[in-house]
Structure 1
Amino acid sequence: MSLLTVKNLRVEFGEKKQSSIAVDGIDLNVAQGQRIGIVGESGSGKSVSMMAIMGLIDAPGRVSADVLSFNGQDLLGLSASARRKIIGKDIAMIFQDALSSLNPSYTIGDQLMEGMKVHLGLRGKALRERALELLSLVEIPAPVRRFDCYPHQLSGGMNQRVMIAMALSCEPKLLIADEPTTALDVTVQAQIMDLLLRLHQQHQMGLILITHDLAVVSEMTDEIHVMYAGQVMERAQVAQGLEQAKHPYTRSLLAAIPEHNKGAQRLNALAGVVPGRDDRPSGCLLSPRCVLADQLCVSQRPALISGLRCHHVQPVLDEANSPVDNMTQSLMKQV
């Protein structure tokens, strides 16, 4: 049975008559123990999609879906109080910037214990012991001393570990990690990702990992969803190898990886930017940036068929598989 089932998720902002779409028709299924990777440029709708699932989109934002269920429960149909019993307990999220997510006025210990008071009913000595156990679990040294520290007294890596401890405090069935290594140095990033993978294996929870790093996705997830301007452009099994990517956008992202540009004078990059929610093209959302775009692409938005959203799927499928082959290079523009 699927832990999380999402069909045709949409997030809109503004007045209904002049609303703008930030997320358009996302489908997602996460089973117990499954690891899903969501990648794409900034502004692709990755975080907004997950915030919608968590119920964190406030007015004037509006969330709708044909299906949005967790463990068989309709999340959109639940009352606010009923949803709060699930969010933070069975579904937890590690937010992008730990320092801005933690409250500077409360100690690490107080913030870590708050969720367990509400969801688990723990009090007194048992509550403190569980909090210290969690700090040890995420490998924070001297947890007794760090328990009474404030966020500004800890390093970025330690604050990120505190966020992970808070997310795991109620043993969630599904963990959403939104760029969990943002602003951390490379060695700390590797430690955090190793920790997440180890904790996932220990607890067999579902994991949704939002990231810009295709290398991380290939190492840590089972399935990849490539998002662009609020839509999924490609969905594929990582076991098949990212070098088998078929969509022009995915292949462009792969071609921009520094390792694929050794010896080049300049990095390959896809020219242009992700369109904002108020300036979406009427046809394929990638058409202003894609050299394969023709009149059909400009006038008609493609549907997601067999995990691909592209009018030129068949020509792409017929090309060589290497992410840096001639076909991929023709999709790129030097900037």
Structure 2
Amino acid sequence: MLSIRNLRVQFGNFPAVDGVDIDLAAGELLGIVGESGSGKSVTMLALMGLIEAPGVVTADKLEFQGRDLLKLNAGERRKLVGAELSMVFQDALTSLNPSYTVGYQIGESLKAHRGLRGAALERRVLELLELVEIPDPKRRIKAYPHELSGGMNQRVMIAMAIACEPKLLIADEPTTALDVTIQAQIMDLLLRLQREQGMGLIMITHDLAVVAEMARTEPPRDTQRVPLPLERPLAGARVAVMYAGQVVETGPVPGLFDSPHHPYTQALLAAIPEHSRGAARLAALPGIVPGAQDRPSGCLLSPRCPRVQPRCNAERPALAQGVRCFFPGEMHG
């Protein structure tokens, strides 16, 4: 369904996305993980056609259901985005328009893509509010975003995104700024909708626990349960770990959790608080993601890597067998 080859997003001299390859089959789950500044959101914004000047997007291949997204004109893209390809953005309250009711905003895409009007439109908006489990939807359809909680606004955003039954849904940090119980409910909702509607789902996150939860093939029996960060995930999803604009490791879940090979993936897993029980300090990777002025000529992780070798400083590794590293190895201990 989705095929990306050598995607690059350049802002002046800074490559925010640097040669990303991604494939996604219909109905498949993919988690994209990495710390802030790793290029996760920019990669998906490029796919959606939402990179504005001075950003420049290039790719050897950027196809969705066989259509070349780089060749679409503005009108063709408007027909596609919101109908077959949708995105749930970070921080729902800032993504919703404060001047319009949530019902009106959900209805906009239905009017544009499905031509619904009047009673048929209102019925579909109510169906969507019920689908995302908003209590008392008949009253909430006339509510403004500031009258709803953060969790309910996030559900409204999800309702807007799935209104036209898209083939692919991208969720960009959908649980940011929500408390832990609401995070679990939003995750359960997204996974249930993905299963019921057969959508492809790309989940952007910095939280490996979210990816672990994403890989569940069956919904938890207790929908109020808060997922434990170290619960072993079931099979059924893939994860791509990004660093400094590149995919550094990719593989199925839970395989990547059980035996990570790239030092950065290992550092992300080691940073989970449960792995540092009894230690005086939490495990952490020193340094920061390189910017425009301090981008290494060799491996982009080399200034921070605990296993760095002379070759790492001189050459940039390619992604081979799912790992971008000259000296990959399983994490021990």
Q: Would you say same fold, with TM above 0.5?
A: yes
8 Å CA contact 1:234–1:247 kept in 2: the answer is yes
2:14 equivalent among 1, 17, 20: 20
1:233 aligns with 2:248: yes
Rounded Cα–Cα distance in structure 1 between residues aligned with 2:254 and 2:300: 28
Rounded Cα–Cα distance in structure 1 between residues aligned with 2:172 and 2:56: 21
**Which residue number corresponds to residue 134 of structure 1?**
128
Deviation sequence 1:73-94 (CA, Å, 0-9, x none): 1010111111111111100000
- The one-letter code of the counterpart of 1:81 is G
Once the two structures are TM-superposed, the CA of residue 262 in structure 1 deviates from its matched residue by 1.1
Once the two structures are overlaid, the 10-residue window that deviates more, 4-13 or 218-227, is 218-227
1:247 aligns with 2:262: yes
**Which residue number corresponds to residue 53 of structure 1?**
47
8 Å CA contact 2:250–2:256 kept in 1: the answer is no
Rounded Cα–Cα distance in structure 1 between residues aligned with 2:255 and 2:299: 26
**Which residue number corresponds to residue 258 of structure 1?**
273
8 Å CA contact 1:229–1:277 kept in 2: the answer is no
- The one-letter code of the counterpart of 1:283 is G
Rounded Cα–Cα distance in structure 2 between residues aligned with 1:299 and 1:105: 54
Rounded Cα–Cα distance in structure 2 between residues aligned with 1:311 and 1:116: 50
Rounded Cα–Cα distance in structure 2 between residues aligned with 1:277 and 1:63: 17
Once the two structures are overlaid, the 10-residue window that deviates more, 274-283 or 109-118, is 274-283
SS of equivalent residue, structure 1 residue 126: helix
1:72 aligns with 2:87: no
**Which residue number corresponds to residue 5 of structure 1?**
3
Rounded Cα–Cα distance in structure 2 between residues aligned with 1:52 and 1:137: 29
SS of equivalent residue, structure 1 residue 76: helix
Once the two structures are overlaid, the 10-residue window that deviates more, 233-242 or 302-311, is 233-242
- The one-letter code of the counterpart of 1:7 is R
8 Å CA contact 2:6–2:21 kept in 1: the answer is yes
8 Å CA contact 1:40–1:227 kept in 2: the answer is yes
Rounded Cα–Cα distance in structure 1 between residues aligned with 2:314 and 2:16: 20
- The one-letter code of the counterpart of 1:285 is L
1:171 aligns with 2:165: yes
Unpaired runs of at least 5, structure 2: 216-236
8 Å CA contact 1:85–1:119 kept in 2: the answer is yes
Q: Give the TM-score normalised by the residue count of structure 1.
A: 0.91
1:35 aligns with 2:29: yes
Aligned length: 312
SS of equivalent residue, structure 2 residue 300: coil
1:269 aligns with 2:284: yes
Deviation sequence 1:270-324 (CA, Å, 0-9, x none): 01111123431111110110121122111211111111101112xx1xx5x54xx
8 Å CA contact 1:9–1:24 kept in 2: the answer is yes
Once the two structures are TM-superposed, the CA of residue 230 in structure 1 deviates from its matched residue by 0.2
SS of equivalent residue, structure 1 residue 85: helix
**Which residue number corresponds to residue 106 of structure 2?**
112
Deviation sequence 1:141-185 (CA, Å, 0-9, x none): 011111111111100000000000000000000000000000000
**Which residue number corresponds to residue 300 of structure 1?**
315
**Which residue number corresponds to residue 238 of structure 2?**
223
Rounded Cα–Cα distance in structure 2 between residues aligned with 1:149 and 1:139: 15
**What percent identity do the matched residue pairs reach?**
64
Rounded Cα–Cα distance in structure 1 between residues aligned with 2:212 and 2:153: 26
- The one-letter code of the counterpart of 1:171 is E
8 Å CA contact 1:11–1:61 kept in 2: the answer is yes
SS of equivalent residue, structure 1 residue 301: coil
**Which residue number corresponds to residue 283 of structure 1?**
298
**Which residue number corresponds to residue 309 of structure 1?**
324
1:99 aligns with 2:97: no
Deviation sequence 1:242-261 (CA, Å, 0-9, x none): 12111100001101101111
- The one-letter code of the counterpart of 1:210 is I
**Which residue number corresponds to residue 177 of structure 2?**
183
Once the two structures are TM-superposed, the CA of residue 241 in structure 1 deviates from its matched residue by 4.8
- The one-letter code of the counterpart of 2:9 is V
**Which residue number corresponds to residue 329 of structure 1?**
none
RMSD over aligned CA atoms reads 1.0
Rounded Cα–Cα distance in structure 2 between residues aligned with 1:47 and 1:159: 20
1:125 equivalent among 119, 127, 148: 119
Rounded Cα–Cα distance in structure 1 between residues aligned with 2:293 and 2:153: 35
**Which residue number corresponds to residue 152 of structure 1?**
146
Rounded Cα–Cα distance in structure 2 between residues aligned with 1:277 and 1:9: 18
Q: Give the TM-score normalised by the residue count of structure 2.
A: 0.92
Unpaired runs of at least 5, structure 1: 326-335
